[in-house]
Structures are given as structure tokens and as C-alpha cells.
Amino acid sequence: MEEKILHKKNTGMPVLLGIIALYILAVFGVISGSYVLFIPSIIWLMFGWILFLGLKVLKPQEALVLTLFGKYIGTLKGEGFYFVNPFVSSINPAARTQLSQSGDVKADQMPIVVNGQATTASSLSRKISLKVMTLNNARQKINDVLGNPVEIGIAVTWRVTDTAKAVFNVDNYKEYLSLMCDTALRDIVRLYPYDMAPGIDTTGDGRPDDGSLRGSSTVVADRIKEEIQKKVDNAGIEVLEARITYLAYAPEIAAVMLQRQQASAIIDARKMIVDGAVGMVEMALDRLKENGTVELDEERKAAMVSNLLVVLCGNHDAQPVVNSGSLY
């Protein structure tokens, strides 16, 4: 379905004034008692109101998809006061859909009950918003490439670019977008580990890389955006941006993964301490040898190295022991 733009002039105000003027003339025609004016005046008073149905008001960044007896005749875009065929009807299948996104519901509007369901005045509007809107999709629990369950949420910035595709190609373009966001998120997240892991190919080039959900969030978000865009092209929607808003391990493994991260941090810290201590011991032995301060045999060197490593690598301050006798 191709979008057809109706290039109409803002003729709403002249038509409105003309209808009101004809109603005034019809009232005078009835009052005058003239048989020639009485019948047309009565007919106009009975059916003239139908022309009011053709008056349409559009605000900036709004559109109306119009059909005439089931046939798509075009889309009205651009702010203004228009007059169209009074028998056309506007279609917006997502008018009553309220997602967690901007532009759907205003807090100050009172709810209205329609067919047993609570709705609002804005949701009853048949106008399609062309503004940039944000969709904050619900968090999902997804297994990463290593099988670890993670919880992730995204915010998607989008807008309608083709009103005909949005209305006629899918049943409800807002629900369709939300579903495709969930699907694309699941397809991309399962390719990455939560943290960097060896031997994982996240780009599909056949070579391991350092990609991860936590460390490459921008790259992951861009891939999610591209995947969503491919899925919603047929709905006339343009995805402007997708960003990760929440990322964490699932509660059932969060405590275990925290312990794993703490253990990894402790090991890295210990490794750094040992490397530094060994360097300091080597420096001390070299300085003693260069300056000729004291001559140590291999056994005494081993004892000195042991003592220095205990002092430098210990968690607590060492208690000094004073040796008043000979070293030998």
C-alpha cells in the first residue's frame, strides 16, 4: 500500500462560514412563509448538518488516513482547517492502544468508558501522530551466549513515516512495534556474553572478539536498532535510536555472579601485589650486592626473600622480631 498525500487547501473556514450563512437564510426562508423558499429551507435545515462532518482540524505533526466506503483515498497532512468529503472516515487502528511511551495519554484527561473498557479522549482520536515518540519496553529475561539469564530493557525512539503502511499493512502498528522490539532484543542479546569471555564470536566473522553486553553496550544497541528497523519497515515506521536502559543478571544467579566478580577482582589484586613484591625483593637483593653491605649465601637469601614476601604480601601488618645474635 503506497501513501497518497492529499494536497488540499485550508478551505475549512470559508465552508464553515458558508454553512452557517445558509442556515441563517434557511431560517428566514421558513419564517417568510414563501412556499418557494419553505421546502428548500426545511430540507437544508434537516440535512445541511452533514457538511459539518467534512470539516477537519489538524495540528502540527498530525495526519488523517481517509477512506471512502472502504477504499483508501489518501492521507491528509499538515496543520490547518480543511474540508473534505463528509462521507469519508478516518482510520487509526492504534487509537486505543496505550503503551509505556510518550504521546499516548495525558494525565489530566478523564477516563471514558467505551464498550465496557476505560479509555480517554486522546485515545479515541483517529489522528495519527507524526511526532517522534519513545517506547520504553518492559524488561525481558534472556539467556546470553553462555546460557546465563540476564534481565535487559531498552528504550526506542521512533516515528511514523508512511501512514498507509502503518494503518493497512499491520493490524496495530504500536503493538507490532512493541512485539518486534522484544523479538529483535532477544535475537541480538543471545549473541553476546554479559561480560567479556574468551573464544566468543559476537560479530559473525568467525573470529573471537571482546564484545559483551556490559562492555559494548553502544554496539549492541546499534545492532538492536538495525534489527528492529528491518522488522518494522513494512509498517511504515522509522526507528531513530535504541538504547539499553537496564542490564543485570537475573535474580536467581545475581548473587553467584557477584561472588564470581569479587573472586576475580581479588585474584587480579593479589597478582598485582605479588608482582610488585617480587620486584621489590629483586631490587633489594641487587642493591645489597652492588653496595657490598652484606654477603648472603643461598640459604640466607631464601630466608630473606621469604620474610620480605610475607611482609609485602600479607593482609595484616607484620610483627617485627629483633635478632640480637649472629645471622650464622
pLDDT one-digit tens code per residue, 250-272: 887 767 667 767 777 777 777 88
Q: What is the pLDDT of residue 254?
A: 64
Is 244 in the same domain as 265? no
- Residue 73 makes CB contacts below 8 A (sequence gap 6+) with 4, 6, 66, 67, 85, 88
**Closest residue by Cα to residue 94 from 58, 134, 52, 122:** 122
Single out the residue in 228, 249, 270 at which a domain terminates.
Answer: 249
Question: Does residue 209 lie within any of the structural domains?
Answer: yes
Least trusted range by pLDDT, from 40-49, 173-182, 187-196, 311-320: 311-320
- Per the CB < 8 A criterion, the answer to whether 12 and 81 are in contact is yes
Is 147 in the same domain as 240? yes
Is 144 in the same domain as 223? yes
Is 260 in the same domain as 194? no
User: Tens digits of per-residue pLDDT, 126-178?
Assistant: 899 999 999 988 888 888 888 888 899 999 999 999 999 999 999 999 999 99
**Closest residue by Cα to residue 247 from 208, 217, 271:** 217
Residue 78 sits in which domain range?
12-90
Question: Does residue 165 lie within any of the structural domains?
Answer: yes
Question: Does residue 110 lie within any of the structural domains?
Answer: no
Q: Is 82 exposed, middle or buried (0-12, 13-18, 19+ CB in 10 A)?
A: buried
Single out the residue in 198, 229, 249 at which a domain terminates.
Answer: 249
Residue written as grid cell 500500500: 1
Is 276 in the same domain as 186? no
Cα torsion for 196, 197, 198, 201, to the nearest 10°? -80
Share of the chain above pLDDT 90, in %: 33
Give the pLDDT band of residue 212 (cuts 50, 70, 90).
confident
- Chain CA centroid to CA 131, Å: 16
Which grid coordinates belong to 18? 458558508
Is 37 in the same domain as 138? no
- Per the CB < 8 A criterion, the answer to whether 165 and 3 are in contact is yes
User: Domain with 241 in it: what CATH number?
Assistant: 3.30.479.30
- Is a pLDDT exceeding 60 seen at residue 115? no
Residue 255's identity, in one-letter code, is A
Q: What is the pLDDT of residue 243?
A: 92
Q: What is the pLDDT of residue 288?
A: 75
- Of 277 and 235, the structure prediction assigns the larger pLDDT to 235
Q: Characterize the bridge pairing of strands 62-68 and 128-129.
A: antiparallel
Question: Does residue 104 lie within any of the structural domains?
Answer: no
Spatial distance between the Cα atoms of 126 and 95, rounded to a whole number of angstroms: 6
Is 271 in the same domain as 235? no
Is 245 in the same domain as 146? yes
Is 217 in the same domain as 263? no
Question: Does residue 50 lie within any of the structural domains?
Answer: yes
Q: Is 38 exposed, middle or buried (0-12, 13-18, 19+ CB in 10 A)?
A: middle
Question: Does residue 122 lie within any of the structural domains?
Answer: no
pLDDT, averaged across the chain = 81
- Of 75 and 202, the structure prediction assigns the larger pLDDT to 75
End-to-end CA distance of the chain: 98
Give the pLDDT band of residue 221 (cuts 50, 70, 90).
very high
Is 295 in the same domain as 187? no
Spatial distance between the Cα atoms of 279 and 88, rounded to a whole number of angstroms: 86
Q: What is the pLDDT of residue 323?
A: 58
User: Tens digits of per-residue pLDDT, 52-106?
Assistant: 998 999 999 999 999 999 899 999 998 889 999 999 999 898 888 776 654 444 4
**Closest residue by Cα to residue 125 from 60, 63, 61, 55:** 63
- Distances from the Cα of 23 to the Cα of 45, 66, 133, 239, angstroms: 7, 28, 43, 49
Q: What is the pLDDT of residue 238?
A: 95
**Closest residue by Cα to residue 203 from 192, 215, 214, 217:** 192
- Is a pLDDT exceeding 70 seen at residue 120? no
- Tell me how many domains the chain contains: 3
Sign for the CA dihedral angle at 241, 242, 246, 249 comes to negative
- Per the CB < 8 A criterion, the answer to whether 214 and 194 are in contact is yes
Is 237 in the same domain as 146? yes
Is 167 in the same domain as 82? no
Single out the residue in 224, 249, 274 at which a domain terminates.
Answer: 249
Which grid coordinates belong to 252? 536467581
Give the pLDDT band of residue 324 (cuts 50, 70, 90).
low
Q: What is the DSSP letter of 292?
A: T
Question: Does residue 116 lie within any of the structural domains?
Answer: no
Question: Does residue 95 lie within any of the structural domains?
Answer: no
Give the pLDDT band of residue 122 (cuts 50, 70, 90).
very low
Q: What is the pLDDT of residue 138?
A: 80
